Amino acid sequence: MEKLDVIVLGAGAAGLFCAIEAARRGRRVRVVDHAKAAGEKIRISGGGRCNFTNLEIKPERFLSRNPRFALSALKRYTQWDFIARMDEWGIAWHEKTLGQLFCDGPATQVVEALTRDLARAGGELWLGCAVEGVESEAGGGFAVTTARGVLRCASLVVATGGKSIPKMGATGFGYRLAEQFGLPVVETRPGLVPLTFAEQELVWMKPLAGLSIDGRVRHGRTEFAEGMLFTHRGLSGPAILQLSSYWREGEAIAMDVSLGRDVAAFLRAARAQGPKLALRTALAGLVPERLARHLETVIAPSGPLGTLSNAALEQVAEVLRNWRLVPVGSEGYRTAEVTLGGVDTDALDARSLQAKGLPGLYFVGEVVDVTGWLGGYNFQWAWSSGWAAGQAV
């Protein structure tokens, strides 16, 4: 039976990065993935341009039962370290917005650089190879049963990602493996995902599909202002995707489409100028016309502006500032960019990502209960956690 120092399960961002580091340290490393190609999520990420990190990496931009857990790895291998790696690779990049860094060219450059570095460091990559099972061995180490035979290793790194986009090879395998070894798994759910609405809401939402609006969206004390988009199933756009990671079924979200303007004063001025003006016509000066037409139907005191009292105009302003909607669900793992929850951080050592009490077993990347905001945070977690385990295996 072939014996390696390190087997990495999953050739995504975290697995490849970990394997490169381990191989550079002289370990005999093999990465095993059932997909036909490595780094498929990197390839499709950021609309094909890979938002590979963010300038503003902060612990509060990660969701976890223990948000401080990620700090150790994020501080040891930072966004600046990965930017330096991109420069070493000669991959051109730019800041788009909100500290989000994207490749100038195709994201495949990042995958090519990672697989090249792995090969140069002497690491091996087995693609199209299913992993059937893992057992710990009596004298230490692990036996991994793959479609190409049983492999033995001293260290096993689980980098099999989350459940998002099953069409691309996501399996939830890492969670099952954690449970097999008695490690707790925080309940998983789709994150960074469009929200869906009941039929009665879709009656007015569907005609707005494709309309993007500026504003803020709030859930409790969490608020995002990065643009929203009506879809045939409900709402999407960056602000909604961000909020979806915090939203739970049955809860309302509140949209503020006033953009900080004094809506009541705007409407009072419009009324003084044209008392016969329809409310929707006046509202179209504030929000897209298609939305103005719908908002008029939501707002009880409807009619020409001249018939509306100051109090009624205040009510209209309040609807624009605090428009409450109750999603019925989300589009689920089919379109979610990430999986929330995962291997409980309490069971892992923050510095090395090794499972406590299980020498040689490591979990890195999305399979761990650390999920970033939209904007490059998830890849930074993959690089940082992969790097940290790569130093320890």
Note the residues at the interface with ligand FAD (CB under 6 A): 9-15, 33-35, 40-41, 44-46, 50-51, 130-131, 159-161, 164-165, 169, 171, 173, 337-338, 365-366, 376-379, 382
Nearer to ligand FAD, 114 or 287 (CB): 114
Distance of alpha carbon 362 from alpha carbon 141, whole angstroms: 12
Q: What letters, b where the CB count within 10 A reaches 16 and e where it falls short, cover 118-131?
A: beebebebbeebeb
Nearer to ligand FAD, 190 or 360 (CB): 190
Nearer to ligand FAD, 10 or 123 (CB): 10
Nearer to ligand FAD, 141 or 386 (CB): 386
Burial degree of 274 (CB within 10 A; 0-12, 13-18, 19+) = middle
Helix intervals (H) in the chain:
13-24, 40-48, 71-76, 79-89, 108-120, 173-180, 199-205, 238-244, 263-273, 279-283, 289-298, 310-321, 377-392
Nearer to ligand FAD, 360 or 375 (CB): 375
* Minimum distance from residue 163 beta carbon to ligand FAD (Å): 9
* Minimum distance from residue 130 beta carbon to ligand FAD (Å): 6
Assign residue 189 a region (left: φ > 0; alpha: ψ between -120 and 50; beta: otherwise): beta
* Minimum distance from residue 139 beta carbon to ligand FAD (Å): 25
Q: Is 279 within 8 Å of 306 (Cβ atoms)? A: no
Nearer to ligand FAD, 129 or 154 (CB): 129
* Minimum distance from residue 166 beta carbon to ligand FAD (Å): 10
What are the residues whose beta carbons fall under 8 Å from the beta carbon of 255, sequence distance 6 or more? 215, 216, 217, 218, 228, 323, 325
* Minimum distance from residue 29 beta carbon to ligand FAD (Å): 15
Tokens of 186: 């925080």
* Minimum distance from residue 375 beta carbon to ligand FAD (Å): 7
Q: Which DSSP category does 354 fall into?
A: B
